[in-house]
Structures are given as C-alpha cells and as structure tokens.
C-alpha cells in the first residue's frame, strides 16, 4: 500500500466522534424534513466527508479498521437518528463491505480510492418493467470501443446523494453484467419519485438510463459460482436488521421524551404524573426491551458474519451458511421488535400523542417499509429447514 493512500489515518473512534454531531442534527430535524420532503444533502455530505464508509476496512488499505460489529453499531446509530439516512447509505456500505471482505473484488483498487475520497455509491438491479422478480430488461450493447446502456432501475437507494451508480444489464448474448458510471454521465437521469408509506427520504426512486455510454473498464462480468462462501447477501440483510434496530431505539427515545415532557396521566391513574404511572413505566420498559432485543440479535449476527472472514474452502462454506441463517433469524426478530416498539409508543399517551405534528407514526411506517424488502416468513422457514435437516439457505442474496 502506497504512503499516499495511508497518509490520513482514520480510526473507529475518530469516525464515530466526527459523526456524533451530525447525527444529533439529523435526529433533531427528521420529523420536519419528512413532512416537507426535504432531503438532508448537507448532513449526508458531512457524513461522507467524515469517511464513515471506511469503518470496517483494514488500516493497511487506508481504512479505519474495525469489525462488522463496529459497522452495525454505526448503522444503528444513524438509523436511530434518521432511518431514511441509514437506508440511503446502504449501497455505499454494501460496496465498502465487499472491499473489506473480498480481496478478489473486481476493480477493488478503484472502488477503494472512491471510498477514500469520500464518494457515496448507489446501485440496484431492481426494475419495474415487467417479468418475474429479479428479471433484468436493461440492455447493454457494444458500440465502438465501449458500450451503450438503456433502461430504467427502480429502488435506486441513495441515488440522489451518490457520485456513482452501479446497475445490471443484459448484453446481446443474454448474459447479465454489472456496470458502474458517474451519476453526471450524459443520459443518467435520477428521479425523486419514491412514494412509499415510509422511508420516504431514502432517495430510492428511478434511475433512467438513456443511451448512456459506458467504457470497457466500467463493465464487469458477474460470476459468483466459484466462491467458497456464496452467501454474499448476508451483510446486506444484516444491514436492514440494523436499520430496524435503530428504528426501535428511536421509538424508545420518543416514548421516553413524550412521557417526561408532555404526557398527562389518565383520569383514573394512581399517579399524579405520567412518569410515575406504573403502566406507562411498564410500556416504556417493554419498548426498551424490544429495542434491546433488536440490537442484541444484530450484534450476534455481526459476529457470525465476521467469523467468515479469512476462511476458505469447506470451512468458509459452513461458516457462511451458518452466518446466513443467523442473519435470517435476526431479520425476523429485528423486524418484529421494531414494529412492536413503534406500536407501543402510542400507549404511553392519550389522544394527543397521535397529533400529526409529532410525526410518531413515521417509526411504524419506516419499520414496515424496511420489513417489506424481503418477507420474514421466508427467513423463518429457511432457518427452520437448516435446523431440521441441515439444508443450506438459498444463495439469492436475500439471506
């Protein structure tokens, strides 16, 4: 590694310290920004400049070091402040995780340089152009020394914040390849048209690709068949669980604050103040337990994913399968914990806690929207099959 690459030293503690004041601003403005559909461009750029995506990348690669658990701890903290921002950063963290865990990653040095430069990355294979789930209708055709791409990608999470966009396209022979282009390339159009009930400010709308010229060195074949550990999606699913854990923690924050600052005991309460009401205390305690459970299972799964690092051959496959199942189980608990915590929030007050101005409904809406990425019934069923028969989980990237 060159001296130029490591001349600026980043650490886990340093990145967390730099992120803290930004997260406080995001938490303080989350409700108002959602109400006004106001994207947090300045604060997201500040997080990028703090080099948060270098957390988990080895120091010899110019990263901050740290473990998968360190990364998920940060993700939970970001989601606790504003789950939209955590979601918007997902593609950047997924690519950073590939850099951290795959020495054979195509174009690894270039991607690492982009992360070192503080660039944010977006990407998706998702389309709304018909066909079964996972179908790729975006086309890439040869044109001179390079290629031309046409198509539309939806759920381009973080697309409005990113400097680079990665997608999948089908070539003339029917093979699916990956391409990466700068977002200001002619023909790349980013639309702010994401319209879900929750996670509204994740910049997850359409990326329209119209005669986008792509150089030969911006196209890569997709071949995961020879990997010792084929469960490359485990970290991606762990990330979603960490977002759910952050939402549960945010529900706890709002519940405790509302009880301290605004709630009044009901007429037949035995307490003169809500903070003394035993049932309010019980409810806040249950919310805290749900948030604790979500964080605990994310931590356990992060350690399982970490244990796969550095393994090869049969041990890598066995550990990879175990980690994928652990992450699947984590997804079930984190989702259910966040949804329950967000619902219980409304039990610490009366009618006033439902005021639109408080925006407390966003926690449930956000948790529900994150949960809909992948059905938790499948996660539970796959975990059950593994424990009963030893059947390995699917390698679709969703476990």
The predicted structure's pLDDT at residue 273? 82
Q: What is the largest CA-CA distance in the chain?
A: 80
Rounded to an integer, the average pLDDT of 244-270 is 88
Percentage of the chain beyond pLDDT 90 is: 87
4 pLDDT above the threshold of 90: no
pLDDT confidence band for 269 (50 / 70 / 90): low
The predicted structure's pLDDT at residue 275? 78
- Own/partner pairs, 30-38, CB within 8 angstroms, 24+ separation: 30/81, 30/82, 30/84, 30/359, 30/362, 31/358, 31/359, 31/362, 33/82, 33/201, 34/84, 34/200, 34/201, 34/359, 34/362, 35/359, 37/200, 37/201, 38/201
The predicted structure's pLDDT at residue 5? 43
Please report the beta strands in 21-175, taking only residues with DSSP state E, as ranges in sequence order: 121-124, 139-143, 146-153, 164-170
The predicted structure's pLDDT at residue 277? 87
Token pair for residue 44? Answer: 């997201």
Rounded to an integer, the average pLDDT of 349-357 is 92
Rounded to an integer, the average pLDDT of 309-330 is 97
- Cα separation of 100 and 54, whole Å? 9
- Cα separation of 301 and 326, whole Å? 6
Question: What is the second-level CATH architecture of the domain 139-221?
Answer: Beta Barrel (2.40)
More confident residue, 237 or 129: 237
Decide if domain 12-119 falls under CATH 1.10.540.10.
yes
Token pair for residue 338? Answer: 């966040």
- Cα separation of 393 and 329, whole Å? 12
pLDDT confidence band for 265 (50 / 70 / 90): confident
pLDDT confidence band for 131 (50 / 70 / 90): low
The pLDDT tens digits of the residues spanning 154-208 come to 999 999 999 999 999 999 999 999 999 999 999 999 999 999 999 999 999 999 9
Q: How far is CA 58 from CA 1, 71, 335, 354, in A?
A: 11, 12, 31, 46
Q: How far is CA 356 from CA 146, 266, 352, 360, in A?
A: 52, 21, 9, 8
| Mean pLDDT (the chain, rounded) | 94
- Cα separation of 304 and 354, whole Å? 40
Rounded to an integer, the average pLDDT of 125-147 is 87
282 pLDDT above the threshold of 70: yes
Least confident of 4-8, 56-60, 125-129: 4-8
The pLDDT tens digits of the residues spanning 208-217 come to 999 999 999 9
Rounded to an integer, the average pLDDT of 7-17 is 89
User: Is 12 strand, coil or helix?
Assistant: helix
The predicted structure's pLDDT at residue 49? 98
pLDDT confidence band for 8 (50 / 70 / 90): low
The predicted structure's pLDDT at residue 3? 41
Superfamily of domain 234-389 in the CATH hierarchy:
Butyryl-CoA Dehydrogenase, subunit A, domain 3 (1.20.140.10)
- Cα separation of 363 and 376, whole Å? 19
2 pLDDT above the threshold of 80: no
Domain parsing of the chain, residue ranges: 12-119, 139-221, 234-389
The predicted structure's pLDDT at residue 209? 98
Q: By the 8 A CB rule, do 60 and 1 touch?
A: yes
281 pLDDT above the threshold of 90: yes
């Amino acid at each position: 590694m060159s001296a130029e690459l490591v001349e600026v030293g980043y650490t886990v503690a340093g990145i967390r310290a730099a992120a803290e004041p930004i997260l406080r601003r995001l938490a303080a403005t989350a409700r108002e920004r959602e109400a006004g559909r106001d994207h947090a461009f300045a604060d997201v750029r500040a997080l990028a400049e703090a080099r948060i995506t270098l957390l988990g990348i080895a120091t010899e690669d110019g990263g901050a070091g740290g473990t998968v658990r360190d990364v998920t701890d940060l993700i939970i903290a970001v989601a606790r402040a504003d789950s939209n921002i955590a979601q918007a950063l997902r593609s950047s963290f997924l690519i950073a995780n590939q850099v951290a865990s795959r020495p054979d990653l195509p174009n690894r040095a270039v991607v690492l340089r982009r992360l070192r430069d503080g660039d944010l990355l977006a990407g998706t294979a998702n389309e709304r152009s018909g066909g079964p789930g996972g179908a790729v209708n975006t086309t890439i055709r040869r044109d001179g020394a390079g290629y031309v791409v046409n198509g539309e990608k939806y759920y381009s999470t973080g697309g409005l914040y990113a400097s680079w966009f990665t997608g999948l396209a089908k070539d003339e022979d029917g093979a699916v390849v990956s391409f990466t282009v700068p977002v200001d390339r002619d023909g790349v159009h980013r639309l702010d048209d994401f319209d879900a009930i929750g996670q509204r400010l994740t910049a997850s709308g359409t990326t329209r690709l119209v005669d986008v010229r792509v150089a030969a060195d911006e196209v890569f074949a997709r071949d995961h068949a020879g990997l010792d550990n084929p469960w490359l999606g485990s970290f991606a699913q762990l990330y979603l669980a960490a977002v759910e854990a952050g939402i549960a923690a945010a529900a706890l924050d709002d519940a405790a604050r509302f009880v301290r600052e605004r709630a009044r005991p009901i007429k037949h309460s035995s307490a003169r103040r809500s903070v003394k009401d035993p049932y309010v205390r019980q409810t806040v305690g249950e919310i805290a337990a749900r948030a604790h459970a979500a964080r605990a299972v994310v931590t356990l799964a992060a350690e399982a994913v970490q244990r796969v690092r550095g393994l090869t051959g049969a041990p890598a496959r066995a550990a990879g399968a175990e980690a994928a199942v652990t992450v699947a189980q984590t997804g079930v608990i984190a989702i259910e914990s966040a949804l329950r915590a967000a619902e219980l929030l409304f039990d610490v007050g009366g009618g006033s806690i439902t005021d639109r101005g408080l925006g407390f409904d966003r926690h449930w809406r956000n948790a529900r929207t994150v949960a809909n990425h992948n059905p938790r019934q499948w996660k539970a069923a796959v975990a059950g099959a593994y424990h009963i028969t030893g059947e390995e989980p699917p390698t679709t990237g969703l476990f």
